[in-house]
Structure 1
Amino acid sequence: MRGGEGEGMRSVMGALSVALGVMTPATATADPSSNVQPAAIDRLMFSQREAERVMGAGLPNVQRQSATFALDTDRPDCGSVVLASVSSYDRSPYMAAHSQALWDHPGWFTLVDQSVAVFSTDQEARGFTRSEADRWRTCENQTINVSEQAVDGSVLQATVDVRDITQVDNVLAVSYGRNDSAYAFCQHVLLGERNVAIDIRTCSTVSKSDGERAFELMKIVGPRVWEA
């Protein structure tokens, strides 16, 4: 990202921070002194209908699991900059994690991923997101090689061109280009709120604007952390 593109990212980040701030401890239904319990994870996941509305495409294929995603890179020091991965999350003391992937058809044009992890304390969740911010910045404006387990179980080899890392308060974001058999525009957003970390990635082979919609989904699920 350069010039006006970077300014656009910061303005969207600011809008997201405002949207998340709407649900404050004083007005939320949850007791701010309590923690989100692992049993509440599913309430923090966006629905198929919500994802389809944001992405502007039908996403009939859905895969859900009680773990994060299988992904390896030649830069493990960069954490989960590409996608919420087992190798990165297993460094942290989370109690439970769920993830889901939604896509339009085999050899997708549109792909959406989400992971939610619940930690024992707010401090653990914030510590994880802070350490991820440091790792993501290690790969800022660099190209990394990725081995990602596809939704059909096969392993995809891809190169990822990581762009600028942007952070506003407890929201971390990166856009990148992903190239395997086709080029995809992707956006990855990580939120640390209360004792929860939420990762969302959106990708599209159609256009940059179609691929970079993770913020829109985070604006839907982020405030739910204060309702859980």
Structure 2
Amino acid sequence: MGCAALNRTHPGGSVGSTHHHDGAAEADQPANAGGTVFVGPTTHGLSTRFWSGSRLAVSTGHTKHCPASRVSTHRRRSSRRSARSDRADSAHHHRRRINQTRRRPHPHHTDCLSTATVHYDDPAPPIASAALAGLLLDTDTINALMNSGELAVDPKHTTTKLFTDTTDHPACGGVLVNASKQVYDGSGWVAAQTQALRDNTTRQHVVYESVISYPSACTVTKMVAQEAHSWQRCNGRSITTTATSYPAQTWFVATVDNHDGMLTALMNQEGARGWACQHALTARNNIVIDIEVCGADITHQATAIAKKVAQNVH
């Protein structure tokens, strides 16, 4: 058919016509100290002490007798008071620990605080920029997910740069164009890697899989949340996109959804006989996973690819 997805342009001169494309008590004081001491029979001038109230009575040199039943009763009372005190202390410290946990930032999230009780047993370190290419799916996996056998890497649009396509509704964010410079600039991104694939024979599918790194998982979370808000602005609207040396294209944003941390949008190109694109955006650790696929039979392929890429991010 030869329908183009959005025209793609990135800094450096590459231009394309496909697609907009992380108790031990002290030795001299019993554990329940702080109570009355009842003195039992002494032996060799040494006193026997029983702790139980708020005073201490010690006898040395003379024998004083304390009835066994009285001693036993005081011991039981002391034990019950001690147990209640221990439970109260335990509950108090538990509440303090929870409150401190709620305010404790993730070791790698230095610019935001957690609003829920989350325990970080072994937080993953941020993904290095040099590792981005290894997160992307290989050709065989992409072909399987796209139900195609002809997709191959398009070197012209496989890049570490962001695409310079623009739209007439910048407030809608990157709903139409993945890895868009217009969207990511100013968000604090560190590095990007895009792999483009297409089937040059039948020209039925185009895939752009992009991963963009940030300093921390917190900044990634903020970016995706902002995009979710922006995409919704254009749900059910038409957007026109332009790219250098290519005519403008108009797209209708048919469906925007945000489910289980996966932001998706389905768009149809105006006058292109059913040519459509699905855009999926999600986050893992300090990585934004930004996938867009186009073709004549597009449903949820971008979502499937994004989930697979997410499995590579630890």
TM-score range, shorter chain: 0.7 to 0.9
After superposition, where does 1:66-77 map in structure 2 within 5 Å?
66-77=160-171
Correspondence 1:225 to 2:313? yes
Deviation of 1:118 after TM superposition, in Å, equals: 0.5
Percent of aligned pairs with the same amino acid: 26
1:70 to 1:161, Cα distance in 2 relative to 1, 3 A: same
Deviation of 1:164 after TM superposition, in Å, equals: 2.5
**2:282: which partner in 1?**
191
**1:82: which partner in 2?**
176
- Unpaired segments ≥5 residues, structure 2: 1-119
Deviation of 1:202 after TM superposition, in Å, equals: 1.0
Deviation of 1:162 after TM superposition, in Å, equals: 0.4
Correspondence 1:118 to 2:210? no
8 Å contact from structure 1 (residues 157, 180) kept in 2: no
How high is the TM-score relative to the length of structure 1?
Answer: 0.77
8 Å contact from structure 2 (residues 267, 278) kept in 1: yes
Match of 2:302 among 199, 202, 214: 214
Deviation string 1:160-196 (CA, Å, 9 cap, x unpaired) is 1102221124211111112365541211100112111
Deviation of 1:108 after TM superposition, in Å, equals: 2.9
Larger RCO (CA within 8 A; separation ≥ 6)? 1
**2:80: which partner in 1?**
none
Match of 1:104 among 199, 205, 208: 199
Moved segments of 4+, more than 6 Å: none
Cα distance in 2 for residues equivalent to 1:91 and 1:107: 39
- Unpaired segments ≥5 residues, structure 1: 1-24
Deviation string 1:89-114 (CA, Å, 9 cap, x unpaired) is 11210110111211112793211011
Cα distance in 2 for residues equivalent to 1:86 and 1:183: 27
Give the strand-richer structure, 1 or 2: 1
Cα distance in 1 for residues equivalent to 2:295 and 2:174: 19
Across the aligned residues of Structure 1 and Structure 2, the Cα RMSD in angstroms comes to 2.1
Q: How many residues align?
A: 191
Deviation of 1:132 after TM superposition, in Å, equals: 0.8
8 Å contact from structure 1 (residues 156, 180) kept in 2: no
After superposition, where does 1:7-156 map in structure 2 within 5 Å?
32-57=123-148, 58-63=150-155, 64-84=158-178, 85-105=180-200, 108-148=203-243, 154-156=245-247
8 Å contact from structure 2 (residues 251, 268) kept in 1: yes
Structure 2 counterpart of 1:221, which letter? V
How high is the TM-score relative to the length of structure 2?
Answer: 0.57
Q: Secondary structure at the match of 1:65?
A: coil
**2:30: which partner in 1?**
none
Deviation of 1:219 after TM superposition, in Å, equals: 2.3
Give the helix-richer structure, 1 or 2: 1
